[in-house]
Amino acid sequence: MATDETEEDRKLPPDVRLDSLERRLERVQQQEAERTRKAQPNPTNRIWQQMFSHLVGAPAGGGIIGWGLDSVFGTFPTFFLLMLFVGFGVGVVNVMRISKTPPGAGS
């Protein structure tokens, strides 16, 4: 016998006590499952985060590469501006590609 049982439960027939224990156990398991449930990520958040990162990251990366090339060849701002616009174009193409992909497809 468990130590936390009440006298009232001990007087009941074994089947009723077992049913009572199963109901209490099920209720506690449901409460625990609800408490530890993880929130499902929203696929829309992933899409806008990808679009934002491409629209910001591609021009920034192009600008950094252009700045590096300008430093090597001493032609500032020629390569900087050229690579900045190329990066912007790459970002727009990537956003168009992402927008055509269904939300559940791919990673």
Instruction: Dump pLDDT digits (tens) for 9-66.
Output: 666 666 878 888 899 999 999 999 888 888 778 888 888 999 999 999 999 999 999 9
Higher pLDDT: 73 or 9? It is 73
Residue 70 has pLDDT above 80, yes or no: yes
Q: How many CB atoms lie within 10 A of CB 51?
A: 16
Residue 107 has pLDDT above 70, yes or no: no
Residue 4 has pLDDT above 60, yes or no: no
pLDDT for 43:
82
Report residue 62 as tokens.
């192009």
pLDDT for 46:
87
List, in sequence order, the alpha helices (H) in the chain. Answer: 7-11, 14-36, 43-73, 78-100
Residue 5 has pLDDT above 80, yes or no: no
pLDDT mean over 75-104:
92
Higher pLDDT: 107 or 66? It is 66
